[in-house]
Structure formats: structure tokens, C-alpha cells
Amino acid sequence: MNFPLQLSRFLVSLGLIATSAFSTANQDTKYAEPGFILSSIKPLQLIAADINQGVIESVSLLPPGASPHAYALRPSQIKKIHAATAIYWVDPLLESFVKKSFNQYADKSFALAALTVKPLATTTAEALDHTLETPEQHALHSDEEEAHSEHEEEHNTDTHLEDEQDAHQGHDDHQHSPVIHQHKYQGKDLHIWLSPAKALQIAKLMQLNSTKLFPQHSALLAANYQRFEQNINDLDFQLNAQFNTLRGLGFLVFHDGYSRFVEHYQLNQLAAITLNPSKRSGAKHLAQLRDVINEDKPVCIFSEPQFSAASVKTLVRNSAVNIAQLDPLATDINVDKDRYVSFMKHFAQQFIDCLGSSSP
């Protein structure tokens, strides 16, 4: 019997066990509390991870590359919902795939679209108590809005640009109004995480909720929020300066989900390829978009990684429009701190690079 060989194998096995135990211990000490905070989509998870840094893990439900507009939960994800310490999502109109499951856990589920947008400033606990509906109230209102939205969306898909053209009747074809594009949502765009002001409110709510769950970590949670707030304010100042010379340059987006960002920085979005990314645009709407491209000469047209770029390439054929990609779901953002700000820097840079490419 080869005892040296057996001893060697035993020592290797022992070393692997020790290494595994050490790795597990390191993972356990990364967060002071067991469990996890669950967010429906990655951008919300980035905010939750920044606020709960060192306290409790934050994870997202939607897989990378998937769209919240059309997704079906798996059994393992339903188990994850059940096990979550707290749940954050936007609204049933955006994430219909979690509506039924999340409403079953109304005691720990927060629909963030109910928050009222305010300027970039610290939001107090009292203000949040008055601006956030209960899950039951919000679910009721969202059910009513969903039926209305579906009807409105069908009507607006082909008339979105016609309304704009009617508003410009009487003007010379070559004298286009400098007024910034008015969006269908009119302040109701559910892509709320693209608003720096809204992100601050979301972060404050998460801080307050985690403080209630883990009062022993209140100082760390407060410090995490203060860092988050400072980073947001610094980035907002920087982006306003960078967009200063780009605000008049027109562009098109794949779907009309950027109004929070566009309106905050006063950018000139001319049109959207689709209002509903799960449906193909009709021939009439595409013809109207070609008219916009020919008449308004947009600098850029933005696609998205979650959807096919075929319609974008078809539109810009034989034109000088630059094609770039926007990723509102933070698919490729993988950092260990200042996660949300890293995402927003990358997101904004796509606008800056593409719009700036037209500068002499």
C-alpha cells in the first residue's frame, strides 16, 4: 500500500476543505446580517447594494439580458421571492411578470413608482410617509391605470408623431421648434431609476426600511446613504456641464422609456421607434420616423441590447445618423461600490459620445 500517496491525497483534501471554509467565512463576514434584499431589476439592486453595503446582501430577480416588459418567472425565482427579507420593484405596468407574486408579500414589498419626484435633496422620513402609497393602494391604482394604458398605447403607437406634426402646422418646414420633445408619459414614465432625483428618494426609502429592520446598523446605513447622496450630486453637476453644449442636438431612441433622464438634463429627443418594445412598429409609424430623420437630421439613434437592432438599421439606411446603444438595465455593470453612480456614468456617456461625435 502506498502510504505516502494516500497521505498526500489526504492533505490535499484537507487543504481544499480549509480553503472552502475560509472562503465561506469571508463571504459570511462581507455582510453583517443573513438573508438578502430582493429587487426586481438590476438598477434597483445597484441602489439597494450601495445603501446596504456591509449590512445585508442585495440581489436582482430579472436575469441579465432579459426585459421586464416580457418575462416569465421560474419556480426557483418564486422561492427567492418567498425567502427575501424585503422586496423592491417599480410598478405592475412595468414588471407585470412579478405582479401576482409580489402582491402576495405586501408586508415586505415596495412599489417605488408611488414615490413623488422632488429636487435633488435629502428626503425625510416624514415626507416619504406621505408620498408612498401602501402596496394595496398602489396595486389598486395600477390595475386601473393598466387597462387605460393598454388602450392608450394601441392608439398612440401610430399617432405619436402625428400629434407632434399637428402641433407644428403653420410653421415653415425648415424652421423647427427648439422646444424639447414632449413625451407620452408626461411625468409618468416608469423607468424611474434614470432620474437622479428619483434615485435619491429610492435610496432614502431603502435606508429607512433597512434601519427599521436592522436598527443596530443605523449608523452604517446613514453613512452609506450620505455617500450615495454626495456621489449623485457630484455626478449631476458633472453631467449638467457635459450636456451643456449637446442639448440642442436631436436623437431618436428605441422605445420611449427615457423621459426621466431626457427631461432632467433637457435633452432633445425627437421620437421613439416604439412605445411598446414587445410589439413591432407599424409601417405608418416607420414612415413617419423616416420623415423625422430626413427633416430634423438627428445626430444619433439609440438601440438597446435587450431587443433586435434590425429596425434601427433599416431606419438609418442611406442616412448619416450615428447608431449607438443604451442599456437602461445596467447589464454590464459589475463593480463593488458606488454601483448606481457607475451605471449612470456609463449610461450618460453613451449619449455624450454619440451626440458629441457630431461636433467639429
Q: Domain-by-domain residue ranges, the chain?
A: 33-138+192-236
Residue located via cell numbers 437630421: 297
Residue 70: what pLDDT?
78
- % pLDDT > 70, the chain: 68
**Beta strands 36-39; 57-60: pairing state:** parallel
Burial class (CB in 10 A: 0-12, 13-18, 19+), 299: buried
Q: Angle 74-139-63 (CA atoms, 0-180°, nearest 5)?
A: 25
Residue 359: what pLDDT?
56
Statement: residue 332 has pLDDT above 80: yes
The set of residues, in sequence order, having a beta carbon less than 8 Å from that of 224 and lying 6+ positions away, is 50, 51, 52, 53, 54, 55, 207
Contact by Cβ (8 Å): 309, 182: no
Statement: residue 163 has pLDDT above 60: no
Choice between 348 and 144, residue whose per-residue pLDDT is larger: 348
DSSP state of 214: -
Statement: residue 167 has pLDDT above 90: no
Element (H, E) at 130: helix 125-131
Residue located via cell numbers 435633496: 121
Q: How confident is the model at residue 275 (pLDDT cuts 50, 70, 90)?
A: low
- Mean pLDDT score, 203-221: 98
Contact by Cβ (8 Å): 188, 142: no
Statement: residue 33 has pLDDT above 90: yes
Contacts 24+ apart (CB under 8 A), 96-99: 96/146, 97/68, 97/70, 97/71, 97/72, 97/73, 98/40, 98/61, 98/73, 99/139
Integer Cα distance of 215 and 73 in angstroms:
33
Residue located via cell numbers 435629502: 122
Q: Which of 117, 13, 35 is nearest to 81 (CA)?
A: 35
Residue 132: what pLDDT?
53
Q: Which of 94, 113, 92 is nearest to 102 (CA)?
A: 92
Statement: residue 35 has pLDDT above 90: yes
Q: Which of 69-78, 82-91, 196-205, 302-311 shows the lowest mean pLDDT across its residues?
A: 302-311
Q: How confident is the model at residue 287 (pLDDT cuts 50, 70, 90)?
A: confident
The runs of H, that is alpha helices, within 191-266 are: 196-213, 218-243, 259-264
Integer Cα distance of 250 and 246 in angstroms:
9
pTM for the model stands at: 0.76
Q: Which CATH class is domain 33-138+192-236?
A: alpha beta
Integer Cα distance of 129 and 188 in angstroms:
20
Statement: residue 100 has pLDDT above 60: yes
Q: Which of 34-38, 49-53, 136-140, 309-313 shows the lowest mean pLDDT across its residues?
A: 136-140
Integer Cα distance of 194 and 264 in angstroms:
9
Residue 8: what pLDDT?
52
Rg (the chain; Cα; Å):
24
Q: What is the mean pLDDT of the chain?
A: 78
Residue 300: what pLDDT?
93
